[in-house]
Each structure stands twice: as structure tokens, then as C-alpha cells.
Amino acid sequence: MLDACVLANYGVANLLLLLAEKPRLYLPLWSEEILAETRRTQTGKFRWEERLADSFQTQLKAEFPESLVSGFDHLIDECTNDIKDRHVLACAIHSKAEVILTFNLKDFQNDALSPWQIAATHPQDYLLMLFELEPLHVMHQLGAISQKRGMTVEDHLIDLGKFLPKFASRLLDDLET
């Protein structure tokens, strides 16, 4: 389950979404409410143009039609995490997700998630796990992103380090050896 704060961060979302394309390392999940919150964050906090945010949403829905989860509203009242993010946990419960990827770990305390056997994880920890499982695939996707942006993998990792410091540091160390 990808929280809106992760989807709204284009650099992080781009890498995670590429790793969800075939050959797929995981299935990303979200709801209409998560997508709406993503759009609000992109056009507000990150000052994206509305047409760009709309294009991002259209692309997500086209490339990952199986990722959209609905039918979980009846579970929201059973959730005890932060009230503004109960829809995210309810969506995760309904879709049988094992992990919620979020920068806002404080909104997903373990005592609220453990009854559902769900964990909240920072995106960098999830990406480190994917790197441990499929290092060549992760490096290939980083290389593709870097090439598209006209920069080196090292420079791209330095950029990602603003949001994913442990992930960037680990991969930069690997590149040096």
C-alpha cells in the first residue's frame, strides 16, 4: 500500500513504480482517496501544475489498473491509527496488504496495525529490502531513470538521498566497491 506522501514525491514514486512494472517486484496498491490526497499534495505543497498532476493520475490508472482498491469504507471505523489516515489502513486491510509505505510512520503506530498483521515501513527500508532481493533489477531501474534525466546514477542517488538517506548511502557505497 502506497501512502499519498510517497506517491506525491515524484523521485521516490518513480523508482517504486518502475520496480512494480514487469518484471514486477511487488504490486502497488492505493485508493481513490489516496490518489486525491496525492494530487492535493502535488498541486499544493510541491506546486505542480494541475495538468501535470492530472497526467500523473491518468498514467497511474492506465499502467496499474489492478492497483486501485475500493470497498473498504466499512473498515474505517475499526481502525485506531491517526484519524486522517484511517482510510489508508482500511484500504490495506481490505486488500490484504502486508505493508504500508509511508514517510509518516507516526500516523501508523504498531499497536494500531499489529491486530491486522500490517506493518508501516519507510520507503527507504522497503527499497533496501528490494535491493537485497534483486540488486541488478534495482540498479537497472536507477540507471534507466538517471539516463532519462541526463545524469549519473551517483548524482541521482545523491538527489534521492534527500528523502532516502540510508538507501542512497548504501547504494553509493556499493558503487564505490
Q: What is the pLDDT of residues 115-137, one digit of tens each?
A: 999 999 999 999 999 999 999 99
Q: Please indicate, yes or no, whether residues 85 and 36 belong to a single structural domain of this protein.
A: yes
Q: Please indicate, yes or no, whether residues 66 and 117 belong to a single structural domain of this protein.
A: yes
**pLDDT for the residue numbered 78:** 98
Range of the structural domain that residue 137 is part of? 126-176
DSSP state of 26: S
List, for residues 28-81, the tens digit of each pLDDT value.
Answer: 999 999 999 999 999 999 999 999 999 999 999 999 999 999 999 999 999 999
Domain finish residue from 121, 142, 168: 121
Q: Please indicate, yes or no, whether residues 159 and 112 belong to a single structural domain of this protein.
A: no
Domain finish residue from 121, 136, 155: 121
> Is 3 within 8 Å of 34 (Cβ atoms)?
yes
Q: Please indicate, yes or no, whether residues 115 and 137 belong to a single structural domain of this protein.
A: no
Q: Please indicate, yes or no, whether residues 108 and 133 belong to a single structural domain of this protein.
A: no
Q: Which residues have C-beta within 8 Å of that of residue 42, sequence separation ≥ 6?
A: 8, 48, 52, 53, 56
Q: Please indicate, yes or no, whether residues 70 and 155 belong to a single structural domain of this protein.
A: no
Centre a 10 Å sphere on the Cβ of residue 39 and count the other Cβ atoms it contains. 19
Terminal-to-terminal C-alpha distance of the chain: 34
Per-residue pLDDT band at 176 (split at 50, 70, 90): confident
List phi, psi (to 5°) of 119: -120, 150
> Is 33 within 8 Å of 1 (Cβ atoms)?
no
What is the number of domains present in the chain? 2
Q: Please indicate, yes or no, whether residues 110 and 55 belong to a single structural domain of this protein.
A: yes
Cα distance between residue 109 and residue 157, in whole Å: 29
Written as nine digits, the cell of 142 is: 536507477
**pLDDT for the residue numbered 138:** 97
